[in-house]
């Protein structure tokens, strides 16, 4: 099982290398691998992850060659747009034109270097988030899908996630693993057990980018986490993201030095008053400071918010997207609230599916080159079609849960989480089949 296409190194300048894939050139940073021109490598998130033996690379490329171009054709066809003949008002067509950043009457996507949404005003974004008419929603999603295709082609990255502890010292109002919830069974995976799960995901199933997630759990002291990251980096060629909550700047510094290169930390909401209410004892500014510290250290930042929090407005959501952009999000993660019965938000309505898709689309317009993940929460709202809907509304990234099966049901940040019943092999197969049907290649070649 493979989530990357080998590229050939054609230029090396210090840590920066130019890699060629089927005639397309990409830049990547090389920190970990001994390389020379002509070598084949896997890259992920802009980092060289590993060298690939030439024979293996050539075989993989041969297997990919026809499919690669075939998938591109399918994607191009699905992402075509024809808005002019659909009977929309001139105002709405103009809005779509501003959203995609070029003339929306063309049916063939122009690769003309236009940068998309800088032309969108706040009023436009509000219109998008408040749109209700099914035909308008459909056109907004298709416009976002068009922008995604135009800027990033058919690349879709598939990350794995291992949830290694469901202990948490915090009491966020929305979260099922909050400290006060005594109705769930708590677990902590031992370091070697986590390494083993990682080894399986990377070396057996071929994941190239993995997230290590837990509640905020000080049981994993810095030394333990450093040992964990080092052990993983010794055994696995992987772009490693950590998602461990609000730890000290030193912790993040030490984990970077140990080899982690990404941080997943949502700011949850850009509305400071709402944040303070829903995260008792916490301040938004502190969270943002951690994210900024991590960015300065060189981490790739995955961040975003929850959609559908009580009293959250469309304005808040636009601020959320803009805040994530300001924080240099490498990948945006916006997902609907799924109320958990053992939390103070138990009577709050579910986050809205269309609103979640509109936030994905608006994010795509605001940052055309972004990675935007389809969250498990969105998938949970619509288990049959959520992933596909997200991918067709501007998203280009998926996560697969690689937590050992016996722990998965206990990482209950919300109930009935999608994907926890199926075996990992099946989830991988289903994901690849979905991507294939949409003409997406499970690589992240689009990011340079
Ligand atoms: N519904 C949706 N997302 C949630 N999260 C926590 N609880 C919920 C919920 N009930 C999200 C938070 C957190 C991430 C790990 O899960 O955004 O950062
Ligand atoms: Fe803990 Fe994160 Fe859940 Fe808050 S959202 S209770 S910090 S796991």
Q: Pocket of ligand 1, candidates 165, 353, 413: which has the most ligand atoms within 8 Å of its Cβ, to mutate?
A: 413
186 with 322, same domain? Answer: yes
Q: Pocket of ligand 1, candidates 245, 278, 303, 335: which has the most ligand atoms within 8 Å of its Cβ, to mutate?
A: 335
| Pocket lining: 109 vs ligand 1, CB cutoff 6 Å | no
Q: Is the residue at 442 inside a domain? A: no
**pLDDT the model gives residue 35:** 93
278 with 327, same domain? Answer: yes
Q: Is the residue at 446 inside a domain? A: no
Low pLDDT (below 70) residues in the chain: 1-3, 82-85, 102-118, 444-448
44 with 121, same domain? Answer: no
Identify the domain boundary among 25, 55, 74: 74
106 with 193, same domain? Answer: no
Q: Is the residue at 79 inside a domain? A: no
pTM of the model: 0.93
308 with 227, same domain? Answer: yes
- Dist. CA 16–CA 11, nearest whole Å: 8
**pLDDT the model gives residue 300:** 96
Q: Is the residue at 252 inside a domain? A: yes
pLDDT digits (tens, 9 = 90+) for 293-346: 999 999 999 999 999 999 999 999 999 999 999 999 999 999 999 999 999 999
Task: Locate the ligand 2 atom nearest the alpha carbon of residue 175 and give its number.
Answer: 3
Provide the CATH number for the domain around residue 49. 2.30.30.140
Q: Is the residue at 47 inside a domain? A: yes
36 with 94, same domain? Answer: no
Containing structural domain, residue 178: 157-437
Q: Pocket of ligand 2, candidates 161, 172, 275: which has the most ligand atoms within 8 Å of its Cβ, to mutate?
A: 172
Nearest CA to ligand 2 atom 3: 175
Q: How far is the CA of 413 from the centre of ligand 2 (A)?
A: 8
Task: Locate the ligand 1 atom nearest the alpha carbon of residue 305 and give its number.
Answer: 17
| Pocket lining: 399 vs ligand 1, CB cutoff 6 Å | no
Q: How far is the CA of 199 from the centre of ligand 1 (A)?
A: 27
**pLDDT the model gives residue 115:** 40
Nearest ligand to the C-alpha of residue 213? 1
164 with 98, same domain? Answer: no
Identify the domain boundary among 150, 178, 208: 150
Identify the domain boundary among 74, 101, 132: 74
386-390 long-range CB contacts below 8 Å, 24 or more apart? 386/353, 386/418, 387/431, 387/434, 388/434, 388/438, 389/141, 389/353, 389/357, 390/356, 390/357, 390/360
198 with 269, same domain? Answer: yes
| Pocket lining: 335 vs ligand 1, CB cutoff 6 Å | yes
140 with 205, same domain? Answer: no
260 with 146, same domain? Answer: no
**pLDDT the model gives residue 445:** 53
Provide the CATH number for the domain around residue 356. 3.20.20.70
**pLDDT the model gives residue 16:** 92
192 with 65, same domain? Answer: no
Structural domain total, the chain: 3
145 with 67, same domain? Answer: no
Q: Is the residue at 445 inside a domain? A: no
């Amino acid at each position: 099982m493979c989530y990357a296409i080998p590229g050939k190194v054609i230029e090396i300048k210090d840590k920066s290398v130019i890699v060629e894939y089927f005639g397309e050139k990409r830049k990547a940073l090389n920190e970990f691998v001994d390389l020379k021109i002509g070598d084949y490598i896997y890259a992920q998130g802009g980092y060289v992850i590993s060298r690939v033996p030439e024979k293996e690379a050539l075989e993989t490329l041969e297997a990919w060659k026809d499919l690669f171009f075939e998938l591109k054709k399918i994607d191009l066809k699905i992402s075509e747009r024809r808005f002019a003949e659909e009977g929309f008002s001139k105002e709405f067509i103009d809005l779509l034109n501003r959203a995609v950043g070029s003339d929306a009457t063309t049916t063939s996507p122009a690769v003309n270097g236009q940068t998309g949404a800088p032309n969108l005003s706040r009023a436009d974004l509000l219109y998008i988030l408040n749109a209700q008419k099914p035909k308008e929603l459909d056109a907004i999603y298709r416009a976002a899908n068009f922008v995604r295709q135009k800027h990033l082609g058919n690349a879709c990255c598939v990350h794995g996630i291992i949830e290694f502890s469901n202990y948490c010292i915090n009491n966020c109002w929305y979260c099922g693993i909050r400290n006060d919830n005594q109705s769930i069974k708590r677990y902590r995976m031992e370091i070697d057990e986590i390494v083993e799960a990682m080894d399986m995901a990377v070396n057996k199933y071929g994941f190239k980018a993995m997230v290590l997630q837990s509640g905020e759990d000080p049981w994993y002291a810095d030394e333990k986490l450093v040992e964990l990251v080092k052990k993983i980096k010794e055994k696995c060629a992987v772009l490693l993201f950590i998602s461990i909550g609000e730890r000290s700047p030193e912790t993040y510094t030490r984990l970077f030095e140990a080899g982690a290169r990404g941080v997943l930390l949502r700011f949850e909401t850009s509305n400071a008053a709402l944040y303070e209410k829903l995260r008792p004892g916490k301040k938004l500014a502190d969270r943002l400071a951690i994210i900024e510290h991590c960015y300065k250290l060189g981490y790739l930042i995955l961040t975003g918010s929850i959609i559908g929090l009580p009293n959250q407005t469309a304005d808040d959501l636009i601020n959320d997207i803009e805040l994530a952009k300001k924080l240099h999000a490498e990948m945006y993660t916006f997902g609907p609230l799924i109320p958990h019965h053992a939390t103070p938000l138990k009577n709050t309505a579910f986050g809205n599916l269309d609103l979640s898709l509109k936030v994905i689309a608006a994010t795509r317009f605001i940052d055309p080159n972004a990675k935007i993940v389809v969250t498990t929460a969105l998938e949970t709202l619509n288990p049959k079609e959520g992933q596909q809907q997200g991918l067709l509304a501007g998203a280009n990234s998926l996560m697969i849960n690689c937590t050992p099966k016996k722990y998965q049901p206990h990482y209950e940040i919300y109930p009935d989480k999608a994907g926890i019943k199926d075996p990992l092999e099946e989830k991988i197969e289903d994901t690849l089949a979905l991507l294939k049907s949409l003409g997406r290649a499970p690589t992240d070649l689009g990011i340079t």
